Amino acid sequence: MNSWNRYFDDIPVNNWSVFQFHKNWIDVHKNEPEKLIYSKAMDTLIKSLRAIINRSADLSKIWKANELLAKCQNQNHRKAGSNIDKLWLCVEKTFQEKNINAGTNCIQLVSCEGVNISNVGDKRSLATPITDKHLDKENSYKRRREDLDNVNFLYDEKNTNEEDELEKHAEETIQYNGKIWIVGSTKINVRDALTKWQKRKDRPRTDLAFYDIIDVTPGSNSDFIRSQPNDAIYEMKQFGSSEEPSIANDVKELIVKFIKANDFRKVVDENYVETRKNDTLKFIWDFANLLAESFERDNDLTDFDLSELAYREIFLAPLIRSLFRGMHREMRIFFGEKHLFASSEELNLEKTDKESREVGRKVDIIWSLKSTDLEFTVGEVSGPPNQRSHPRFFSDKLKIAKMLKIIINRIVRKHCGTGVKLSSLKLYGLQIYNNEVICYELSVPFRGLYIFREVLRSKLPTNKVELALISRSIPTLLKFKELLEQSQKSLKDYIVDAYIMSIDSGESANQFITFTKQDKKTS
C-alpha cells in the first residue's frame, strides 16, 4: 500500500489540486468528525506530497507533487473569501450551529452558501456524525485568522493594540525559531535584539535594520548596530570571508605594460591582437581603450559637469558589457533606470483586480538570468561621477540592499526551496560613486536576518596621473564578475534543488525570509 493519501491514486495526476483534495477529504471523512479539521487535512496533504516526491517512480507525479507542495508553502490557502475558506466555513459553521439530526445523530451540511458549486461539488447533503465531545469544539476560522501553517511566526498578542501608524504601514513579519546568530561575550541573540529594537517608537526607517537587514559595511551608521555592546559590534562586522582579487601572470604583465607606457595610446593599439586570446585580456584592452579615448577627448571623464547619464553611456555601460562579454548566453544586462520586476511584483501581491498596478522601483543596472524574468544583481550610479553627494550615496546604498532583499524574497516565493540552500545563496549589488566602484553582498544565513556587507572596493582611474589605479580596479572588476558567475550558478542549483528535494516545514526557505511593505516611490 502506498504511503500517501488514496486521492492521489484515484485521481489522474493532471487533475490534482489543493482545493479538490480538501473537497475529497470532507467527502471521505464525513462520518469521522474528528478528522473534519482544516489543519489535519492540510497536514495529510503536505505529508502525502512529500511521500510522492520521495517514493514515487512516476516522474509526472513527482513534478506535480512539487508544484502543489510549493503552493502549500508559498500561499495562504485559507485566506478569507477563498474557495477553500468557504468550503471549510461550511463545515465549521455547521458544527457551531449544532444542527443535529436526532434520527441519525448527524450534522446536516445542506449547502455551501457563497461557494462556486461547480468547484465544490454537487448540492447533496453531507451527513456527518457528531459526538458530545465535539459539540463544544471551536474550529471557527473566523476566530483565529492566523493561518495554522504560520505558527512559527513571532507574534505578540499583547502589543497588537499598541501598534502605531508606522508599524501598520511597515507590516513587518518577524520570524524566529530555527538557526540563530549569537554574538558577543554576553551571548546576544541578534534576532531577539533586533526584534526589541524594532518595537521602539523612535527607530529610524533609514536604518536597514528596519527591514531586517543587518548592515555590517565599514561605513555603517546603523542605529541598531550602535545600540549593541562593542564586542558584539566587532563580531558582527567580522561576519563573512574576505574576497581578495587575484589575477594571472599574463594579466599582470599586460597591466604593467600599460602603466609603464610612455605613449599610452600607441601601446594600447599595439596590443590589440595579443589580447584576442581570451575574454579577460579583451576586457583589459577595452578598459584601456576607453581610457585612451577619454584622454584624447581632453580627459572628459574628469569633467565636473559630466552627467550621470553621459558617464553611463560613454564609459560605464561599455565597460560592464565588455566585462561580461562571455556571459551573454547565460545572463542579460539592462541599463538606464529600468523598473525592477521583483519590486513591481511584490508591490502588487495583495492588490485586487480593481486596483491599479505599481511599476516597481527603478534601478540603473539589472542582471537577470537569460530566458527568464529572474533578476539576481542590481547596480546604481550615484550621481555625476565628479560631484560628491553623500545623501545620494547613502540613499542608493539603502536602495541596493532593499532591492536585493526583494529579489531574494521573490526567488523563495517563486521556487520555495530549503533554508539550508538559501543560507548559502549570495546576491551582489554594484555602486559607482565619485569614480569608485563598490560591491556589496546580501545573504540570509540565519532565520529572519539578512546580512549586508561590502566585499570589494576600488577607485577607477580618470586621467593619466591615476593610470596606475588599473592595477587595483581591473582585479576588482574581474573579481566582481567571478562573484556574479558564482551567484548565478548557486541560484540555478538552488532552483533545481527546490523542485527535486523533499522539504520539511521547518527546513523551508520560507521560514528564513521576512517581508516589509515597500515605499511606493518609483525612482
Cβ proximity of 431 and 397 under 8 Å: yes
Q: Look at 41-50, 355-364, 372-381, 507-516 and tell me which has the smallest mean pLDDT.
A: 355-364
For residues 422-449, average pLDDT = 94
SS3 35: helix
**Is pLDDT at 173 greater than 60 in this prediction?**
no
Confidence band, pLDDT 50/70/90 cuts, at residue 499: confident
Query: Which among 345, 403, 377 has a CA at the least distance from the CA of 455?
Result: 377
- The predicted structure's pLDDT at residue 101: 45
- The predicted structure's pLDDT at residue 33: 81
Mean pLDDT computed over every residue of the chain: 78
The strand order across the sheet containing 449-459 reads 213-215, 449-459, 436-446, 426-433, 375-381, 362-369, 331-339
Predicted confidence (pLDDT) per residue in 301-331, tens digit: 999 999 999 999 999 999 999 999 988 888 9
Q: Where are the alpha helices (DSSP H) in 447-512?
A: 470-500
**Residue at grid coordinates 542605529:** 223
Q: Cα dist. 479→21, 75, 390, 472, 484 in Å? A: 50, 38, 26, 11, 9
Q: pLDDT exceeding 70 applies to what percent of the chain?
A: 74
- The predicted structure's pLDDT at residue 131: 44
For residues 426-435, average pLDDT = 97
pTM given for the model? 0.65
The pair phi, psi for residue 485, each rounded to 5°, is: -65, -40
- The predicted structure's pLDDT at residue 414: 87
Looking at residue 519, the DSSP 8-state letter turns out to be P
**Is pLDDT at 127 greater than 80 in this prediction?**
no
Predicted confidence (pLDDT) per residue in 152-162, tens digit: 333 333 333 33
Domain 307-511 adopts which CATH fold? tt1808, chain A (3.90.1570)
- The predicted structure's pLDDT at residue 134: 41
Query: Can you give the residue ranges of every domain in the chain?
Result: 7-143, 152-237, 307-511
| Distance in angstroms (rounded) separating the CA atoms of residues 243 and 273 | 32
**Is pLDDT at 282 greater than 60 in this prediction?**
yes
For residues 148-176, average pLDDT = 34
Which residues, listed in sequence order, are joined to residue 106 by a DSSP beta bridge? 101, 129
The most distant pair of C-alpha atoms in the chain lies apart, rounded to whole Å, by 106
**Is pLDDT at 140 greater than 50 in this prediction?**
no
Predicted confidence (pLDDT) per residue in 196-255, tens digit: 999 887 777 789 999 999 999 998 889 999 999 999 998 998 888 777 788 888 999 999
Predicted confidence (pLDDT) per residue in 76-120, tens digit: 456 666 788 888 888 877 765 544 444 444 444 444 444 443 444
Predicted confidence (pLDDT) per residue in 185-208, tens digit: 899 999 999 999 998 877 777 899
- Write out the DSSP string of 268-305: HHHTTTGGGSSHHHHHHHHHHHHHHHHHHTTSGGG-TT
- The predicted structure's pLDDT at residue 415: 87
What does the H/E/C string look like for 329-366? CCEEEEEEEEECHHHHHHHCCCCCCCCCCCCCCEEEEE
For residues 281-305, average pLDDT = 94
Cβ proximity of 333 and 321 under 8 Å: yes
- The predicted structure's pLDDT at residue 350: 54
- The predicted structure's pLDDT at residue 256: 93
For residues 508-514, average pLDDT = 82
Confidence band, pLDDT 50/70/90 cuts, at residue 261: very high
